[in-house]
A and B are shown apart, each in its own frame.
Chain A
């Protein structure tokens, strides 16, 4: 293989070269800007993670997430193939292009446009056996990319086929980038086919070359096509920063930052910025989000919030306040964008801290008689919280179970309580919640118990994450009942009725408690599957987090969730959260019980 054009230059490379220079500068400044916002400690962490074995994980993540899109594959094979074929295929085209340059025209190594337009500049010689291998590879990857593009075009018009009910609405920047991206590879195919008889080709390009017959002899056509190819690339590169495809380069940076353990601390800091730009607008979060069952609310799903944050729109707060904070979009996001955290930060930045007065906390401690002063800290301290106070059947059953198991316990908030603080945190009042957390911590530590037992997953999460309780074990009652069964303190008999279990958002996704409730239920009844995976359970609609959901909108969420839960026709629905119990029992035609009630009923 040898050079066909003496200077290795032709004017058609100019648009592309400008595009590359533009995007390099843009990405360079962007990266530097983000890196500059890092604190000293974060910067050190980043360096540490680069110059250690952690870098292998980073490379692996980049390969799996950015190029192969493994997570999307898991959702839907076709959709995964679409993303992977374009990303990985394109990457391989560029990569092999560079290898070809290094092997055959080493003198052009480092010329930006050369690997991309290699086929234009070279001609076949008599010994092209080694080249033939690359010809084949290049054609193969081009075919793969083209198949991906074909799917993408198909998806735009028939998204349901790729497992998506809704797909994102496009902005102008997105549209330009999208159309140029669709154009790039077909143009490349035809351009390379035109030169295939000179520079060599394989099953695709050579075949098309032969099919085109005498047409290929026209240099006018040939030049026009290479120009068009270069222009399509240039348009894409120039449109890139203004389109969702920015996610491709940004995600690499995000992976570096994430693996260095960096987290966002404001809704627009460096890390947040890298998250915001990493969103590929894949739209997976739209279908995932329970808000989408209320038609107009699908506009408030995470992808649109990120878009608003990106454009610094004022109403991003309003959008953040819609979210039920169920965490499902975070669980499913292929880029692992923690959009819930961004929403919290957004709310926190706008929280009216001054208007609250917590003086009463020190004046009026709720009284509870703590019989607990045994040194061995065997005792259990139970905190119902406001939600369980509204569903007394839960603690009544739990107490009956504990009585039977002869457990020593006290009821911390029988006569009223200080709030656990999570509702405040969810509405952005992190600092205000500290007051409540302090007052509660004092009370709890004074009781000198070994276990703090909770029925409400909302409390459970905050006691686990935001309190430091000096080694007191924080347990949800589903875990505790399981423990009592394991220790042989209570025995359940397995009923012959079937049940389905709803994973409360804050217990499952929020606190990673999936197996204990299932173990308890399996020893009390026949457990049926719902139509969702445990980690994809749908919010019951009762969430405290949203300030913007009307009662009837909540009802639609509840009904949707119920429909999925009851898909296998269970006789009863079991949940482990007072809020879920309230939401579901309103509408469920079947019996709805808390796990404590079920355990009490089946106790022997």
Chain B
């Protein structure tokens, strides 16, 4: 198969980039390893800050794909750049793709929470992750029929944590926790909800308001301090140990449920592709841009672009905006090689 552009990854970043490039009457091929387009937000119920249903966003993104050729259930087994600047990619389906440009919209991975062993994820039934909670919201289950009395959110699970080798902030989880806490409070008005945070990163427009509302209107309690360990009582309830660093004292609290805010880490599964193309990765595993200010979506290899969370944690609006700018850069590049 031949095309101008090959987009790897059918999440929000990949879809938006593909549709914008097709707008320039380019021939775009989009491959997605799953059987459905959408990526992470497929699992999400509603999106911060205003609670728009995630399925609406996916639907809109899909509809604007235009003439893009979409290959589902496909991934690249090997890829190379030839002398003539063309890329040749071998797919698992046996198909070969020839194209002039490749875009990594490979996204991120949620931190596997069981790696933070002291939190007992996978071991205790009532310790779940942010993604699990969204799935439950989506199925309309919430946290079950019996209204829970006390729920805790643990921020920065797998982020900002030297011990598990990930130093960066995932950006999205603080606001996601606030959003999910409010949603739970709406579902269970009598539940006490705690958020254990290191510091709150409410940088986006409307985030700070949501945080204030969470405190004043929903009476969610924010406790500054990292959770040191979680254990389980015989009854199945969970005990959280932390230090309240504002009050400077250790704290032990029994909760019905704990939600771990699993952070964003790089999708290491694609390292073989970056290796084959000699793409430069940062120490954190995300793809490096050639210039972190003006050429954020260009990589060290001409013709290879990166967009979305493949180059670091980003919120959805950021992803969408970046996808459009990537489309412009790719179009420019294609014009340039055509005109010699």
Are A and B interaction partners? yes
A415 and B254 CA atoms in complex are apart in Å by 11
Chain A residues with CB under 8 A of B296: none
Chain A residues with CB under 8 A of B163: 551, 586
Q: Does A416 contact B (CB under 8 A)?
A: yes
- Which of B6-14, B114-122, B129-137 lies at the interface? B114-122
Query: 1/0 per position for B89-128, CB-CB distance to A under 8 A?
Result: 0000000000000000000000000010110100110000
A392 and B117 CA atoms in complex are apart in Å by 7
Q: Which residue of B lies closest to A542 (CB)?
A: B163
Find out whether the CB atom of A582 lies under 8 angstroms from the CB atom of B252: no
Query: 1/0 per position for A572-604, CB-CB distance to B under 8 A?
Result: 000000000110011000000000000000000
Q: Is the interface of A mostly helix, strand, loop or mixed?
A: helix
Find out whether the CB atom of B231 lies under 8 angstroms from the CB atom of A414: yes
Chain B residues with CB under 8 A of A389: 118, 229, 231
Find out whether the CB atom of B117 lies under 8 angstroms from the CB atom of A390: yes
Rounded to whole Å, the gap between the CB of B39 and the closest CB of chain A is 25
Query: 1/0 per position for A355-390, CB-CB distance to B under 8 A?
Result: 000000000000000000000000000000000011
Known contacts A391-B118, A581-B117, A586 near B165 by CB under 8 Å: yes
Known contacts A392-B123, A392-B231, A585 near B115 by CB under 8 Å: yes
Q: Does A45 contact B (CB under 8 A)?
A: no
Query: 1/0 per position for B123-165, CB-CB distance to A under 8 A?
Result: 1100000000000000000000000000000000000001111
B117, B162, B230, B252, most chain A CB atoms within 10 A: B117
A105 and B284 CA atoms in complex are apart in Å by 80
Return the contact of B162 from the options A390, A416, A551 (Cβ within 8 A).
Answer: A551
Q: Does B232 contact A (CB under 8 A)?
A: yes
A416 and B117 CA atoms in complex are apart in Å by 17
Rounded to whole Å, the gap between the CB of A516 and the closest CB of chain B is 24
Q: Which residue of B lies closest to A550 (CB)?
A: B162
Q: Does A31 contact B (CB under 8 A)?
A: no
A390, A581, A585, most chain B CB atoms within 10 A: A390
Q: Does A396 contact B (CB under 8 A)?
A: yes
Chain B residues with CB under 8 A of A393: 117, 120, 123
Q: Does A321 contact B (CB under 8 A)?
A: no
Rounded to whole Å, the gap between the CB of B331 and the closest CB of chain A is 40
Chain A residues with CB under 8 A of B241: 416
Give the total of A residues in contact with B, Cβ under 8 Å. 15
Chain B residues with CB under 8 A of A396: 123
Return the contact of A392 from the options B115, B118, B164 (Cβ within 8 A).
Answer: B118
Rounded to whole Å, the gap between the CB of A320 and the closest CB of chain B is 25
Q: Which of A386-412 contact B (CB under 8 A)?
A: 389-393, 396
Known contacts A389-B231, A392-B120, A551-B163, A416 near B252 by CB under 8 Å: yes
Q: Which of B163-188 contact A (CB under 8 A)?
A: 163-165
Q: Does A555 contact B (CB under 8 A)?
A: yes
Chain B residues with CB under 8 A of A391: 117-118
Query: 1/0 per position for A544-577, CB-CB distance to B under 8 A?
Result: 0000000100010000000000000000000000
Q: Which of A523-553 contact B (CB under 8 A)?
A: 551
Find out whether the CB atom of B115 lies under 8 angstroms from the CB atom of A390: no
Find out whether the CB atom of A586 lies under 8 angstroms from the CB atom of B229: no
Query: 1/0 per position for A16-41, CB-CB distance to B under 8 A?
Result: 00000000000000000000000000
Chain B residues with CB under 8 A of A555: 165
Q: Which of B217-233 contact A (CB under 8 A)?
A: 229-232
Rounded to whole Å, the gap between the CB of A431 and the closest CB of chain B is 25
Q: Which of B227-247 contact A (CB under 8 A)?
A: 229-232, 239, 241
A582 and B232 CA atoms in complex are apart in Å by 20
Chain B residues with CB under 8 A of A416: 241, 252
A393 and B252 CA atoms in complex are apart in Å by 20
Rounded to whole Å, the gap between the CB of B249 and the closest CB of chain A is 13
Find out whether the CB atom of A390 lies under 8 angstroms from the CB atom of B165: no
Rounded to whole Å, the gap between the CB of B263 and the closest CB of chain A is 15
A538 and B162 CA atoms in complex are apart in Å by 22
Chain B residues with CB under 8 A of A585: 115, 117
Q: Which of A413-464 contact B (CB under 8 A)?
A: 414-416
Find out whether the CB atom of A392 lies under 8 angstroms from the CB atom of B165: no
Known contacts A416-B252, A551-B162, A390 near B229 by CB under 8 Å: yes
Q: Which residue of A lies closest to B234 (CB)?
A: A414
Chain B residues with CB under 8 A of A392: 117-118, 120, 123-124, 230-232
Q: Which residue of B lies closest to A395 (CB)?
A: B231
Find out whether the CB atom of A586 lies under 8 angstroms from the CB atom of B164: yes
Find out whether the CB atom of A582 lies under 8 angstroms from the CB atom of B117: yes
Chain A residues with CB under 8 A of B164: 586
Return the contact of B118 from the options A390, A414, A415, A551 (Cβ within 8 A).
Answer: A390
Chain A residues with CB under 8 A of B239: 415
A585 and B239 CA atoms in complex are apart in Å by 24
Chain B residues with CB under 8 A of A582: 117
Q: Which residue of B lies closest to A394 (CB)?
A: B117
Rounded to whole Å, the gap between the CB of B116 and the closest CB of chain A is 9
A555 and B252 CA atoms in complex are apart in Å by 31
Rounded to whole Å, the gap between the CB of A71 and the closest CB of chain B is 39
A392 and B252 CA atoms in complex are apart in Å by 17
Rounded to whole Å, the gap between the CB of B204 and the closest CB of chain A is 31
Query: 1/0 per position for A298-331, CB-CB distance to B under 8 A?
Result: 0000000000000000000000000000000000
A392 and B228 CA atoms in complex are apart in Å by 13
B120, B162, B231, most chain A CB atoms within 10 A: B231
Rounded to whole Å, the gap between the CB of A409 and the closest CB of chain B is 13
Chain A residues with CB under 8 A of B115: 585-586
A585 and B112 CA atoms in complex are apart in Å by 12
A544 and B220 CA atoms in complex are apart in Å by 37
Chain B residues with CB under 8 A of A551: 162-163
Q: Which residue of A lies closest to B124 (CB)?
A: A392
Q: Which residue of A lies closest to B165 (CB)?
A: A586
A488 and B126 CA atoms in complex are apart in Å by 35
A494 and B310 CA atoms in complex are apart in Å by 43
Q: Which residue of A lies closest to B118 (CB)?
A: A390
Q: Which residue of A lies closest to B120 (CB)?
A: A392
Rounded to whole Å, the gap between the CB of B59 and the closest CB of chain A is 39
A416 and B228 CA atoms in complex are apart in Å by 12
A555 and B232 CA atoms in complex are apart in Å by 30
A581 and B117 CA atoms in complex are apart in Å by 10
Rounded to whole Å, the gap between the CB of B121 and the closest CB of chain A is 10
Q: Which residue of B lies closest to A387 (CB)?
A: B118
Rounded to whole Å, the gap between the CB of B265 and the closest CB of chain A is 13
A62 and B37 CA atoms in complex are apart in Å by 77
Chain A residues with CB under 8 A of B231: 389, 392, 414
A391 and B119 CA atoms in complex are apart in Å by 8
A389 and B241 CA atoms in complex are apart in Å by 11
Q: Which residue of B lies closest to A393 (CB)?
A: B123
Q: Which residue of A lies closest to B239 (CB)?
A: A415
Q: Which residue of A lies closest to B250 (CB)?
A: A416
A603 and B232 CA atoms in complex are apart in Å by 24
Query: 1/0 per position for A219-244, CB-CB distance to B under 8 A?
Result: 00000000000000000000000000
Q: Which residue of B lies closest to A414 (CB)?
A: B231
Rounded to whole Å, the gap between the CB of B250 and the closest CB of chain A is 9
A414 and B124 CA atoms in complex are apart in Å by 15
A586 and B124 CA atoms in complex are apart in Å by 21
B115, B118, B164, B232, most chain A CB atoms within 10 A: B118
Chain A residues with CB under 8 A of B120: 392-393
4 further A-B pairs in the complex, CB-CB below 8 A; given A393-B117, A416-B241: A393-B120, A396-B123, A551-B163, A581-B117
Q: Which 9 A-B pairs have the closest CB atoms?
A: A390-B118, A551-B162, A392-B120, A391-B117, A389-B229, A393-B123, A390-B229, A392-B123, A396-B123
**B interface, CB within 8 angstroms of A:** 115, 117-118, 120, 123-124, 162-165, 229-232, 239, 241, 252
Can you report 8 residue pairs joining A to B where beta carbons are below 8 Å apart?
A391-B118, A392-B123, A392-B231, A393-B117, A396-B123, A416-B252, A586-B164, A586-B165
